[in-house]
Amino acid sequence: MAEIVAPSAPRSKREYSQEERQSVVISFSGDSGDGMQLTGGQFTNTSAVMGNDVSTFPDIPAEIRAPAGTIPGLSGYQVNFAANDLYTAGDSPQVLVAMNPAALKANLPDLEPGGTIIVNTDPFNRSGLRKAGYETNPLEDDSLSGYDVHPVPLTTLTRNALADIEGMSNQAKDMCKNAFVLGLVFWMFDRPLDYTLKFYQTKFAGRPEVVEANTRALKAGYYYGETAETFQTQISVPKRQIVEPGVYKRITGNDAIVLGLVTAAQKAGKPLFYGSYPITPASTILEGLAALKNFDVRTFQAEDEISAMGSVIGAAFAGSLAATASSGPGIALKSEGINLAVVMELPLVVVDVQR
């Protein structure tokens, strides 16, 4: 079946000002289940395709299953996109997208004075404020007077946009509110919808109801931006003017580790063995290496961190270029095996992908 990419939303006829900037830093923050990594990733991909340089900083919570609505349970994604070369993800965001009170409280100190805040007002109830440690509602007092605040009932608007989808629970609809806010931010920064719509069609090809729900939410967010009077300015960041001809690829730090490990093994003339236990945010290293078996790469998904470390020790002892990766909790579990490797003077690589 031919792939159909829906066209971008049409321009609004209402009056709003246009502003051009050379760079913008946006921070997306919400609960671990709010899809902030996906939202930030899609905004980054679209900006890269449009010719901007991009630099990102995913912020994964260190705690395992921290309570929803609390600061320890936040997941964030900061993206810096510009018309010139970038070398960092930016120091202070100019725009904060806060999906709940905890996201606002945790990230407000980093926001530039006078910065823009898009905040989901629905969780600002007694329970949500208490979980975040607020004694009063910051949306109702003067604590945000120095910022450009846009209160948006994201949860309610997303449910309304998906109201006529039969058999879809409110819980399932709420999972699409990240698509709504992504569409809104796309309008704010003059980004097209096409690439994300195509992404939905590819990623959820076997689940047409998910494609439909996310597509509706994305477009609803875009149209909300162009029709809501609260948004009076659309910002554009021009593409880079001087770019050497060639093929470019956006990669993450984990992607770079995958390429580096395979290259090192090939140059050393040794097979690469990678043993690990899946853990966010290190799992994509295992996924990336598993796709490169034609380069004499052997991957092993262990049943736990301890056995993963044991497999790497064995591979190193047998003469392979041996490597493993994990995050904070996993590194702690691997520590005894790491000490054994040190005592035995075995060369191996341990990657700590920090949260």
Tokens standing for 297?
């790469």
pLDDT of residue 125: 95
| Residue carrying the six token digits 């994509």 | 284
Percent of the chain past pLDDT 70, that is, above it, reads 96
Model confidence pLDDT, tens digit, residues 49-68: 999 999 999 998 877 778 88
Sequence-distant (≥ 6) Cβ neighbours of residue 213 within 8 angstroms: 162, 165, 168, 172, 173, 176, 179
pLDDT for the residue numbered 1: 33
Mean pLDDT of the chain: 92
At 14 the pLDDT is 67
| Reported confidence tier of residue 13, pLDDT bands at 50, 70, 90 | low
pLDDT at 328: 86
Rounded distance, CA 184 to CA 231, Å?
A: 10
Specify the pLDDT at position 21. 95
Cis peptide leading into 281, omega within 30 of 0? yes
The candidate with the shortest Cα–Cα distance to 216, out of 163, 270, 293, is 163
Q: What is the pLDDT of residues 282-310, one digit of tens each?
A: 999 999 999 999 999 999 999 999 999 99
Identify the pLDDT of residue 257: 97
- Helices 208-227, 154-161: inter-axial angle, 10-degree rounding: 120
Contact 39, 107 (CB under 8 A): no
What's residue 240's pLDDT?
87
Q: Give the pLDDT confidence score for residue 302 in this predicted structure.
A: 95
- Residue 10 CA, chain-centre distance (Å), reads 27
Strands 53-59, 74-82: pairing is antiparallel
Of 1-10, 156-165, 183-192, 202-211, minimum mean pLDDT range: 1-10
Q: How far apart are CA 277 and CA 333, in angstroms?
A: 11
As a whole number of angstroms, the distance between CA 96 and CA 92 comes to: 10
- All structural domains of the chain: 17-236 (3.40.920.10), 253-352 (3.40.50.970)
In this predicted structure, the answer to whether residue 10 has a pLDDT above a threshold of 70 is no
Alpha-carbon span 99 to 52, nearest angstrom:
26
pLDDT attached to residue 203: 92
- Over residues 204-237, the pLDDT tens digits come to 998 999 999 999 999 999 999 989 888 888 999 9
pLDDT of residue 65: 73
More confident residue, 167 or 99: 99
Residue 313: CB atoms within 10 Å:
20
Which pLDDT tens digit goes with each residue over 240-278?
887 778 887 878 899 999 999 999 999 999 999 999 999
Q: Looking at residue 6, what is its pLDDT?
A: 41
The pTM of the full predicted model, rounded to 2 decimals, is 0.83
Q: What pLDDT is attached to residue 289?
A: 97
